[in-house]
Amino acid sequence: MAKFLLMVNRGVPAYLTVWAVMLGFFLSLGLFFVYPSSAEVTDASQADSSTIHDSAEAHLQLGIDFFLTNELDVAIDEFRETARQRPGYADAYHNLGVALAKTGDLKGAIAAWSQAERLDFHTASLRYHLSALVSYNYGISLVRDGRLAQALAQWRAVLRLQPDFFEAHYALGLGYLAAGDPVQAVAHFQATIHDATHWAHAYEALGLAYYASHENTLAEQAWRRALALEPELPKVYANLGLLRLQEGNYHEAIGHSRKALVLQPDLVAAHYNIGVALFAKGDESASVPSLERAISLDPRLTSARLLLGVVWSRQGNWAQAASLWREALRRDPFAKDGVWLHYNLGVAMAAMGLVDEAAVEFDVVTGQRPEWAPGWSQLGSALLATRQWERAVVALQSASRLQPAWAHLHFAIGKAQAEAGNLSQAVAAFQRAVEVEPQFVDAWFHLGVVLRAQNRTGEAVEPLRLAAEGGSGEAQSLLASMYANGSGVDRNIPLAMLWWFRSSRATMADSLTQTAREQLSQFRRGLHRHLFSPGDRQEVLTGFGLIREDLHRLAPPHPMSNQVANDEGSWDHLTPNEPVVAWVIDQALAGDQSAQHTLHAWYVNGERGRLVPADPQIRNYFLQTAKEGDPFSCQVVRAVAPESSERFSADWQLAANGCPDQTVMPGL
């Protein structure tokens, strides 16, 4: 499988949804002058009884409380009890009318408001045309039922009846905002403010409309005006935090959001903003508590689950990330972030080895966003992993049509076509990949392999050479075998040895590197044991000469570099740190006698603070080359074997036994 990238929806949402704002404000907007008045009503019989007065006031207040918690039936009973105890109390009838209107009983509402008008000429309903008030409250009841379009029609009717009904402008503003028409919303909020210049919530809503219109500067001005009128508006602070968050000012975003939490500790938007800001700052672990708190307050907050899953995935906890994304989809299957949830869930499935399940998720992604190349790309990769070659080709070709400059797509198409046996199509795809990205080593290698499979060996050499030069161990090993056997090229033992040497230096040892090392070992064994003809011996010596030249080019950064460049051939003055020791060992393996003497000196004496005597790397070198029959190494092991510790004596003795009989070499 390809390495997947997790997707995060970078569009930070304005969490304060318009519907929530609408319903919250409409609960209070239906009540005009509902609170008990300190003035006495004109009915003398009611004014004489303070006990009845107090009881009626208590029922009125209870009715208001129940109304604000949307317990309308109980509120209606309380308002009726108020009217029963104080028949001349106009406010009781007015509030009864409001509650009845919210339940949809418009006939009862009109009757109650008419009674309120008869009782008190100055009652609240006289501020409004009665028909306008009915339409206004009926619109509110329609919103509660989710019938926004009909509610908008009622509020427009209100303004035709009474143009100065600024609450209707406000309601229309919220309605248009919920309907996705922020331009109309701005106009109605501005009309509201024209008649209600000190209404903080109107400025708050105006800020939301500007924000939805991408007029962030105007949104901030409106919100700051709201705070000037009413300093303790937690949602406004959260929205200011959102603006700072989108600007990348994470410090101020966190500050505004924390101020919001002081005023309202359970404000989801503030917790979420803090979590996003900490994540964006790179404090991913610190973001977890805020995101988890936001989710606990609002279990359907999909964006928080999406982001928290990304946090867990980056910590390697794929199972927990997948659980969060699955739960988000279960709670909100049609979420606007759904495509990212499916994509990330596919990534998680692939990371856990569940490639069939990953393919299912990526299939959903391509269904929802067929114009998005990464979805097709990952679907193709998952299908490749499940060996569904033909389906993989279709998916990958869909991706490549959308992103023809992505070389990896053409490469993956080539692999799928090759696995399906469509070699000509595979060659074309690999050729397209290297045309798009000339340094694409793996594509060059696979192109060479497929050309060989088509018996086009001569054409395969150049792609394989380019792949080998680019560092492909597979290409290096294959090219070495081709030169050694004369397969599609002229037989060339020195070049074969050079490519086996390069293959043997891979950081991660595998079967190819082991094979390469064994091949070079056989060449050394043949030299030391005189197994080659004079012509073959000269070829092998030439090969080791090429390897030494390559080693000079690969010398690690070290003061020895000047010596290497000058080819002085003496390594006694080098500082034996780990890369230098490894490099000198490679020199010795390539037949550099000076390197052998240097290794022997280091093995016997070490170097204070840098290399202990009897270094394991150097010991293994002498053991290996003695078994190959190297005369110098045989003298070393014969000298060391009798003195070696019990732990290593068997290894030294075994190496010594493998040495041919020979005289002691001078200079040891």
Q: What does the pLDDT look like over 107-120, one tens digit per residue? A: 788 788 788 878 87
Res 346: pLDDT: 96
Res 121: pLDDT: 58
Place of tokens 């949809």: 104
CB 532 within 8 A of CB 597: no
- 162 pLDDT exceeds 50? yes
Output the six-digit token pair for 219.
Answer: 């949104």
Residue 411 in domain: no
CA nearest to 466, candidates 435, 491, 490, 421: 435
- 25 pLDDT exceeds 70? no
Res 434: pLDDT: 97
Residue 584 in domain: yes
Q: pTM, whole model, 2 decimals?
A: 0.70
Res 605: pLDDT: 85
- 320 pLDDT exceeds 60? yes
Residue 661 in domain: yes
Number of Cβ atoms within 10 Å of the Cβ of 77: 17
Res 414: pLDDT: 97
Res 647: pLDDT: 53
Domain that residue 628 falls in? 555-668
Residue 607: helix, strand or coil by DSSP?
strand
For the stretch 509-567, pLDDT in tens is 678 889 999 999 999 999 999 999 999 999 999 999 999 999 988 776 655 444 444 44
Q: Which residues contact 584 (CB under 8 A, 6 or more apart)?
A: 571, 574, 576, 595, 598, 599
Residue 266 in domain: yes
Instruction: Give the residue, 19 or 61, on which the prediction is more confident.
Output: 61
Q: Percentage of the chain surpassing pLDDT 90?
A: 63
Res 558: pLDDT: 57
Output the six-digit token pair for 240.
Answer: 């200011």
Start-to-end CA span in the chain (Å): 54
The CATH number that applies at residue 253 is 1.25.40.10
pLDDT band at 99 (very low <50, low <70, confident <90, very high): confident
Output the six-digit token pair for 61.
Answer: 């207040």
- 44 pLDDT exceeds 70? no
- 574 pLDDT exceeds 80? no
Strand intervals (E) in 415-530 = none
Place of tokens 């570099």: 561
- Mean pLDDT for the stretch of residues 329-344: 90
The span from the CA of 532 to the CA of 513, in Å, is 24
Total domains present in the chain? 2
- Mean pLDDT for the stretch of residues 201-227: 96
Last residue of a domain, one of 274, 298, 322: 298
Res 572: pLDDT: 66
User: Which stretch of 345-354, 378-387, 503-512, 524-533 has the lowest confidence by average pLDDT?
Assistant: 503-512
For the stretch 464-490, pLDDT in tens is 999 999 999 999 999 999 999 998 889
- 47 pLDDT exceeds 60? no
- 462 pLDDT exceeds 70? yes
The span from the CA of 83 to the CA of 209, in Å, is 41
- Mean pLDDT for the stretch of residues 591-598: 92
CB 182 within 8 A of CB 222: no
DSSP category for residue 30 = T
DSSP3 helix / strand / coil % (the chain, rounded to 5)? 75, 0, 25
Residue 61: helix, strand or coil by DSSP?
helix
CB 183 within 8 A of CB 213: yes
Residue 218 in domain: no
- 46 pLDDT exceeds 60? no
Place of tokens 């696995």: 419
Instruction: Give the residue, 419 or 571, on which the prediction is more confident.
Output: 419
CB 637 within 8 A of CB 652: yes
Last residue of a domain, one of 265, 298, 331: 298
- Mean pLDDT for the stretch of residues 591-614: 85
The span from the CA of 144 to the CA of 490, in Å, is 86
Instruction: Give the residue, 555 or 86, on which the prediction is more confident.
Output: 86
Average pLDDT over the chain reads: 85
pLDDT band at 45 (very low <50, low <70, confident <90, very high): very low
Residue 393 in domain: no
Residue 148 in domain: no
Residue 257 in domain: yes
Res 648: pLDDT: 59
User: Which stretch of 24-38, 476-490, 605-619 has the lowest confidence by average pLDDT?
Assistant: 24-38
CA nearest to 80, candidates 103, 105, 106, 62: 62
Place of tokens 């076509």: 417
Q: Percentage of the chain surpassing pLDDT 70?
A: 85
The span from the CA of 630 to the CA of 623, in Å, is 10
Max mean pLDDT range (14-18, 61-65, 185-189)? 185-189
Res 351: pLDDT: 94
- 27 pLDDT exceeds 90? no
Please name every residue paired with 607 in a beta bridge, in sequence order, or none if there are none. Answer: 611
Number of Cβ atoms within 10 Å of the Cβ of 581: 21
Res 334: pLDDT: 86
* Residue type for position 206: L
For the stretch 129-141, pLDDT in tens is 777 877 888 888 7
User: Which stretch of 198-207, 531-540, 597-606 has the lowest confidence by average pLDDT?
Assistant: 597-606
Last residue of a domain, one of 298, 320, 344: 298
Place of tokens 């002081």: 262
Res 302: pLDDT: 93
pLDDT band at 29 (very low <50, low <70, confident <90, very high): very low
